[in-house]
Structure 1
């Protein structure tokens, strides 16, 4: 038997306050910065522009924070053009915040002994939670994240799947440069991140903006 409907219209979406946005974005930045600690201690990589920056930091004397900030610069125009100034400002703040925190966190925490599978899973869940918070408060971590969110808004194609496609190319390149076990563990972490986002980042399940 079907449950009778009341006919009441759905509750309208509400906008986050500035304080709610600030704490949500701060949480997301903190979680993503924390997730990078076991990732880098294990010599693993991840996907998107963060993965590109991590890989370049292993191959050059430049730090991840500096590389991550620079590789995101070309994407702000697309973000402003397609998603608006509010989105770009939040994204720039998140990218700058993660770049800074990634330089600070290793001085306060490290993983001298951690199983690579556990480390990859820990990275995946922590990073996924951080990205969800950032997305739900109207920001991103730039790069492919901007493109993925735009495609989701415009076509309904989930952001996680766009990121997964980009990651496939990035990991193919990494397989030519890094030991295969490191690439395999890295792929596990990246898959968890993308699955967390693909399953949980749905506007019909979360109406605040």
Structure 2
């Protein structure tokens, strides 16, 4: 029970942190937080769906693709994480509007919180949803840090998003991804050899 409560708290915290980074800093500047964020930006652009629900739809769809490989327990925890993230995005976007914004500060601060939140989730054996599911599958299968596959998958989606909306997005998104995936690896590496597997047993 103690382990369960700790994991639950960390999953909620990880989801809230990445939602804070996206909702308060990245999305107001139209900076995709990742591959799922890029697709969510497109849904917002084409169908005028708000970012929180758009991101949840994308994350849930990608999660369903990973259930068979990663298991139902992984899917359940990831569902908790992505739901917390979407709720946090809507909360911070609507509750704490920033009038005088600075693009560089928003980019750096938002990316740091985003990467920290994702790193916390992945240390608990939980994906941040979206293409993070695919990155986690690669990381889990090859026993490597998840930042690199996450980066390369995301930039592919960024180019599509930029082609539709604006090519300036590519530069901002790439910088954001470099910062956030660096933070993912930093946070993940702190406990890389002692993370709990999906069955909650320590790796040997």
Per-residue CA deviations over 1:153-201 (Å, capped at 9, x if unaligned) read 1113432111111122112112223333343223211221112223442
Unaligned runs of 5+ in 1: 1-14
What corresponds to 1:12 in structure 2? none
Q: Which structure shows the bigger proportion of residues in helix conformation?
A: 2
- Which structure's CA Rg is the greater one? 1
Q: Give the match for residue 176 of structure 1.
A: 163
Alignment-derived partner of residue 136 in structure 1: 123
CA RMSD of aligned residues (A): 2.2
- Quick one: structure 1 residues 77 and 174, their matched pair in 2 at CA, closer, same or farther if it must change by over 3 Å? closer
Pairing 1:18–2:31 present: no
TM-score (norm 2): 0.84
Q: 2: CA distance between counterparts of 1:76 and 1:187?
A: 24
**Partner of 1:4 in structure 2?**
none
Cα 1:178–1:93, aligned 2, differ >3 Å: closer, same or farther?
Answer: same
Q: Is 1:193–2:154 an aligned residue pair?
A: no
**Equivalent position of 1:109 in the other structure:** 96
Please give the TM-score of this superposition, normalised by the length of structure 1.
Answer: 0.82
| Uncovered stretches (5+) of structure 2, i.e. residues with no partner | 197-204
Query: Could you say which residue in structure 2 is the equivalent of 1:162?
Result: 149
**Shift in Å, 1:77:** 3.8
- In the TM superposition, structure 1's runs of 4+ consecutive aligned residues that sit over 2 Å from their partners are 72-80, 177-183, 198-206
